Amino acid sequence: MHARRAARELTLILFSQFDKKITQYTQTEFEDIILKSVRTLTNNAADELKTSAGAILAMKEYVDNYEADSPVNLKRPLQANNIPVALPMTSDLSGRLDELLGICEKVVLALEIAEMTALEHTGEVKNYVVQLANTYKDNSQEIDSLIQKFAHGWDIDRLVKIDKDILRIAISELLFSEGVPVKVVIDEALELAKKYSTDDSSSFINGILGKVVEEKKARDKEKA
């Protein structure tokens, strides 16, 4: 996970915890919320790993018991090792494989969080989170007005909050950050939407960001 990718994700978590207007927060408060967010993520990751380990052990116990309780092994002497037996019905096995896949996803997420936490301690991630938060804080009216403009009749206050926050982060970068590739900003905004929001969010966010990029190009052309 690159530092800026981790920073965007932490910024999204930061934005989700605001209980007042962003203009009312200080940089110290931003940093305090980031620290609390990282601690919460770390604890959640540890819990997920423990849960995953328990589920895998339960799956192993199921397989061992299935083998031991098979008629062919029940007839064998007590000291003899069990012999392999045929697997259960595919419908049952498929369901248990789905459980394992779910466990794997949780483990991957926990590892990503651990990596994000490690990156946060380098300072680069935290600095970029604070930069993004301050950028939106200083330009919140302009950024929100663009979201409202391109939301096709939706009242910005009625949009899903996480979608608004993803848009706010991406537009802050698109309009006010130097040297950040447009494609990277949009791609990572879409990844955040896939990870944290609804199935329809990606296309909605992609459409608005595309309009923002077009407007920025038009503005730059007028200034030239």
| Residue 15 CB neighbour total at 10 angstroms | 20
Contacts of 73 (CB under 8 A, 6+ apart): 67, 82, 83, 85
Residue 19 has pLDDT above 90, yes or no: no
Residue 60 has pLDDT above 80, yes or no: yes
| Residue 76 CB neighbour total at 10 angstroms | 13
pLDDT band at 119 (very low <50, low <70, confident <90, very high): low
Residue 21 has pLDDT above 90, yes or no: no
Residue 174 has pLDDT above 90, yes or no: yes
State the pLDDT at residue 195: 85
Which pLDDT tens digit goes with each residue over 75-104? Answer: 888 888 888 888 776 666 677 777 777 777
- Domains observed in the chain: 3-219 (1.10.940.10)
Question: What is the pLDDT averaged over residues 5-20?
Answer: 84
State the pLDDT at residue 183: 95
Top mean-pLDDT range of 39-48, 178-187, 191-200: 178-187
Residue 120 has pLDDT above 60, yes or no: no
| Residue 38 CB neighbour total at 10 angstroms | 21
d(CA 129, CA 180) in angstroms, rounded, equals 14
Question: What is the pLDDT averaged over residues 166-181?
Answer: 93
pTM exceeds cut of 0.85: no
pLDDT band at 116 (very low <50, low <70, confident <90, very high): low
